[in-house]
Each structure stands twice: as C-alpha cells, then as structure tokens.
Structure 1
Amino acid sequence: MSDRPTIVLVHGFWGGAAHWAKAIGELDRRGHAGLRAVENPLTSLADDAERTRRMVRQVAGPVLLVGHSYGGAVITEAGDLPNVVGLVYVAAFAPDAGESPGQLSQEVPPAALANLTPDSDGYLWIRPEKFHESFCQDLAPDEALVMAVTQKAPLASTFGDSITAPAWRAKPSWYQVSTEDHMIHPDNQRRMAARMNTRETVELRAGHASLASQAGAVADLIDRAAAAVTGA
C-alpha cells in the first residue's frame, strides 16, 4: 500500500544497525518495502537524534520510528518531525522531559549494571565475558560472541544526556517489554510504557536483545503499529 509508513529502525548502545537484521527480514516478509536503519555515532543524544532526523527528512512520506534500548531515547528526542506518525519502543528507554537514560537506570537499577566498564578514552563497554548473560542470554553462544566482539561502545557521557521535549507526548506509541531484561529493568520498562499511555504494550519472555531473539513477535508489534498509522 502506497500510504504505508517507512519504518526507520534505531539501534541502541553496544551495537549498530545490524542488530536489527532478523527483524528486518521478518518485516520484509510482511510486505514492508520501506525499511531503513540508522547507524548512530553514540557520541551524544544530540548527535544521535540529529543523525536520525537527517534520515527521517530523506523520506517523503510518513515515518514510523522504532527504537531499541537507548534508541528509544533517540526516537523520543527526534520524533518531533512532522512526518513521524508513530513511535515503537523495543525494550527501550522512553525518558520524559529532563530525564536521561542514566537517571532512569539509577532509579531502578538493572541486573547487569555491574558488568559495565569504562575505558581510558571515556567509552563504556559491557565486559566481553559478561556480554551473553547481560545483553542477550536467550541467544545462542555464537551469536552472543559476535555481538560481544563487535559491540559499539557509547561515550559514557551520553548516559547523562537528557530529553528536551518527548515526542511520545504528541505521537501515538507502542511498547514491547522484555520480562527477562538485564540491561533495562523490566519494571522500569513497564513504568515508562504506562506513563506514555501506549496504544499497545506487549510483554515478551526475552532478554534485552528481543529484536533478535524474538524477532517475529517484535515485527508483529511493528506491523500492527504501521497498520494503525496508515493514512495518518
């Protein structure tokens, strides 16, 4: 359908656009020809939001923004563009005005918080030997190894960057909670989803990397959101 939105996928910390690989395949099989994935620098919320806005501006029609993990903060900040018709959060941060991902994590600490380690250049890593249990315990060991070795560390200061005007206050939103998440506490996810008054919130028995371990169910939610905003 010509009025279907282009789906723009936004990754989070410790990975890149390729984290969406399985979900992209699932969405393509559902007939979503308009698929794009942002590659964010993870240097600051302002940088990442601007990179996302630039991709959205390249799309002539409506856009459905989908954010995983920290990517939720990015779509919250960048989703104010007029052609953004909806927001989908996948085990993601959804900060309110003045809140940062770091602040939200401190309020409800996740299980794997102690497995983060800074380096001498100011980047924050998941300890490689702890990556599987922290980020993607429901993926096969070989998949987790690749994610651990190729992880894209953010500048630690990005955790403290706060939202200005949250787009979810003006745009329809959907949320997927990962009930076994070790990176963003599941109760924190539920709290963020509840205050957004989402159109739909689904819970999956999944770790943080639900976009890979439960790609079909994640694609189902995105598909429903795309259908809901069609013609918006």
Structure 2
Amino acid sequence: MNSKAATVVLVHGAWADESSWDKTVALLHEKQIKTVTVRLPLSTLADDVAALDQVLEQVAGPVVLAGHAYAGAVIGATHSSKVKALVYVAALAPDQGETVADVFNRYEHDALAPQLAPDDKGWIWLPPEAFATAFAQHASPAEQKVLAAVQLPLSPACITVAVGEPLWKQIPAWYLLAEQDHMIPKQTQRFMAERMHARISAYPVDHLPSLTAPKLVAAIILDALSHSAA
C-alpha cells in the first residue's frame, strides 16, 4: 500500500466528537496525509458501525482506521476490505462474545474514575467536572470546558451487546497505551493490546491524547501507514 494514497479515518469515542481529533488531523495534513473523521450517533453499536461503514464506502483506496476509547469496539466491528491497519488510542477492544462493558470493567478503576449511570431518558453523560479530573486532565481549562460543552452522550445499547469476530484478528493493530488514563485503567489497556498482539506504545498521557499529546498519536498513525505500505 502506498502510504500517500492511503486515507486515515478517525473515529471518536463516547463523550467526545470529531473535534477531539482536530490537532491530530492538522499534524497529518502537514505530512500530506488524507484524513476523514466520523461522527457516531452513539445510539447502538450496530448504528455506530453502520455510520463508520457509510463513511468507508465513500473513501477511495486503502484505509488506516483509528479509534479512541469506545470507538475501538466500532473499528473492530467493521469488515471493510479497505481497512489495512487499526490504531487503538486508549481504546477498548472486546473479543468475540464480549461486550464493551465486559472489557471496560475487567480491572478495577481508580478513585478519579467518574460514576456513570443513564439519565431519565436512558443516555449516559459524563459529569462536566470529569473532563478536568479523569477524561483530559492534561488539557487546558478552556479546552476542558469545550469538551464538556460538545460532549455526545452514550446509550447503554452501545456497550451491552456482544461483538462478533473482531477485525484485529485479521489485520495488524497498533495501540497507544495511556498510562495516566483515569477512564480506562492502564492494566485493562495492556491486557487488550497484548491480546491483540498489537504494536504497543505506552506514554504518560491522559485519556484523550489526540488532543493533549497529538504528536504521539500522529506518530503512531504514521507508523501504521508506513508498515502497511511496506
């Protein structure tokens, strides 16, 4: 695969939107890498995979597909033949028969992890203060306020359905392990990354390195592009 001909497709996780990738996109554009971001409805896992597949259908040529957090389950559930490599950014990677909730809760969370529960309409919101304490503690206060303002809620239907055979069993995967993540324990991340036989890069970053450490995220994506080209 010619890396210059490849497109990087970026998928946000829960409580974020496409803007969480803006800094990473800018760095990739400096390298003349084509990028596309995907907006997920976060209504059901099937809906989210359908939204991703709709975008992939519009992309010409090969794809390196990156997902953050919950979106790890989404990128693993597509079976588009265009996808040549997967990049997991502090992301969840359930295996066949597991749910997102299963892997999210595999190991105990620390004291800074927020309490999560559906509201009276069935949606799970992240408490606004959690953006500063658990989700993106390395971001600026202004960035944390924006994250809280633009957050997209998650439906329990996204995280309680068992997945089929994931794509990471068929193609190579890269994993950015966020060592200072208070949303997904680093022990959980390492378990999933090692199970995938992913190429692991561990850094002392928070849960949203696409915003707070975009150079590290872009470097891993570029590595995936380079290896896929070879």
TM-score (normalised: structure 1) = 0.94
RMSD over equivalenced CA pairs, Å:
1.4
Aligned residues: 228
Question: How far is 1:57 from its partner?
Answer: 1.3
Letter in 1 for 2:35: L
**CA-to-partner distance for each residue in 1:133-154, whole Å, 9 max, x for gaps?**
0100111111011101221111
Task: Assess if the C-alpha contact under 8 Å between 2:42 and 2:153 holds in 1.
Answer: yes
Query: Cα deviation per residue 1:17-56 (whole Å; 9 max; x = unaligned)?
Result: 1110110011111220x21000010001110011101111
Q: State the partner residue of 1:212.
A: 211
Unaligned runs of 5+ in 2: none
1:10 — aligned with what? 11
Q: CA deviation at 1:92?
A: 0.2
Contact between 2:93 and 2:103, CA under 8 Å: does it hold in 1?
A: no
Query: In structure 2, how many angstroms separate the alpha carbons of the residues matched to 1:158 and 1:66?
Result: 18
CA distance in 2, matches of 1:159, 1:224: 30
**Cα distance in 1, alignment partners of residues 184 and 88 from structure 2:** 12
Residue 184 (structure 1) aligned with residue 184 (structure 2): yes
Q: What's the counterpart of residue 23 of structure 2?
A: 22
1:92–1:196 distance in 2 versus 1, CA, 3 Å: same
Match of 1:41 in 2: 41
Secondary structure of the 2:66 match is: strand
Q: Which residue is equivalent to 2:168? A: 168
- Preserved contact between residue 114 and residue 130 of structure 2 (Cα < 8 Å): no
What is the percentage of aligned positions where both structures have the same residue?
Answer: 35
For 1:194, the equivalent position in structure 2 comes to: 194
Native 8 Å contact 1:136 1:144 kept in 2: yes
SS of alignment partner, residue 182 of structure 1? coil
User: Is the counterpart of residue 56 in structure 1 residue 56 in structure 2?
Assistant: yes
Shift of 1:209: 0.6
Do 1:115 and 1:130's aligned partners in 2 also have CA atoms closer than 8 Å?
no
Aligned residue number for residue 129 of structure 2: 129
How much does 1:162 deviate? 2.1
Contact 2:85 2:172 in 1 (8 A): yes
Match of 2:108 in 1: 109
Q: Tell me the equivalent position of 1:138.
A: 138
Please give the secondary structure, in 2, of the residue aligned with 1:203: strand
1:163-208 residue CA offsets vs partner (Å, 9 max, x unmatched) = 111000001110000000011111100010101111x210111110
Give the unaligned 5+ runs of structure 1.
Answer: none
Displacement of 1:113: 4.2
Q: Does the aligned pair in 2 maintain the 1:23–1:219 contact within 8 Å?
A: yes
Q: Contact conserved, 2:15 with 2:153, CA < 8 A, in 1?
A: yes
Which residue identity does 2:26 align to in structure 1? G
Asked if 2 retains the 8 angstrom alpha-carbon contact of 1:16 and 1:152, the reply is yes
Report the AA paired with residue 208 of structure 2: A
Letter in 2 for 1:29: E
Contact persistence 2:90–2:177 (CA under 8 A): yes
